[in-house]
Amino acid sequence: MNSIRPATPADLPLILDLIGELAEYEREPQAAVATIESLSQHLFGAGLGQGPTARCVIGEIDGEPQGLAVFFHNFSTWKGKPGVYLEDLFVRPAARGSGLGKVLLRHVAKVAVALGCPRIEWAVLDWNEPAIGFYKAFGAIAMTEWTTFRLTGEALANFAAGEA
Ligand SMILES: CC(C)(COP(=O)(O)OP(=O)(O)OC[C@H]1O[C@@H](n2cnc3c(N)ncnc32)[C@H](O)[C@@H]1OP(=O)(O)O)[C@@H](O)C(=O)NCCC(=O)NCCS
């Protein structure tokens, strides 16, 4: 049976493993540098000073953890309301196709609707056809006119320091 529960600090090693498995699937295992400490601070602790930065729920099949969803609020000035940004959705390979991904995504949708958030957004790698098909099956649309930008690492530090 599929079930969802909020993650607790006792889940931190599991969460770190699942994040690593997703990074492996997304062909960037070296990019997953999160630690138990950083996840603890931002999922269960003070975050940036005002409480947890993001929320995590664990998906289980017959009581065995098999996946997770991690999400947080963003804000739309056009809507004048917060939305939900889905950072990670992952189900372990052997557990896929049992409806757990749908239950996890529906949980995030329920949170959004309950809080009056008009939308959920996320990014999908363009080669990830199985996930793209999964999302489209529920009415999600690809924002093909929009390109995600990122300023990070040395470029971010240099720009912030006025050196670029
Ligand atoms: C994408 C993922 C979360 C989906 O989870 P899952 O547990 O395998 O999917 P589910 O079993 O919940 O699928 C539920 C429904 O979606 C449908 N579906 C799944 N993949 C589909 C696809 N590619 N095209 C059309 N429908 C699809 C199923 O047919 C099923 O429909 P039903 O409810 O009518 O029977 C999971 O496969 C996964 O973790 N993949 C690797 C990581 C990943 O890609 N994460 C997303 C990164 S953005």
160 Cα: distance to centroid of ligand 1 (angstroms): 40
- What CATH architecture does domain 2-122 belong to? 3-Layer(aba) Sandwich (3.40)
Give the pLDDT confidence of 134-154 residue by residue, as tens digits: 999 999 999 999 999 999 999
Distance CA 164, CA 159 (A): 5
Tokens of 42: 């931002």
Residues serving a catalytic function are: 135
Distance CA 82, CA 112 (A): 9
pLDDT surpasses 80 at 164: no
Contacts of 5 (CB under 8 A, 6+ apart): 57, 58, 60
Q: Whose CA is nearest to atom 44 of ligand 1?
A: 131
Distance CA 50, CA 52 (A): 7
Locate the ligand 1 atom nearest the alpha carbon of residue 129 and give its number.
23
Phi (first) and psi of residue 75, to 5 degrees:
-145, 135
Beta strands 55-61 and 81-91 are unpaired
Give the pLDDT confidence of 48-93 residue by residue, as tens digits: 999 999 999 999 999 999 999 999 999 999 999 999 999 999 999 9
Domain locations in the chain as residue ranges: 2-122
Give the pLDDT confidence of 22-44 residue by residue, as tens digits: 999 999 999 999 999 999 999 99
Distance CA 65, CA 63 (A): 7
55 Cα: distance to centroid of ligand 1 (angstroms): 21
Q: Whose CA is nearest to atom 4 of ligand 1?
A: 101
Predicted structure pTM score: 0.97
Query: Pocket around ligand 1: residues whose beta carbon is below 6 Å from it?
Result: 22, 25, 89-91, 96-102, 122, 124, 128, 130-131, 133-134, 137
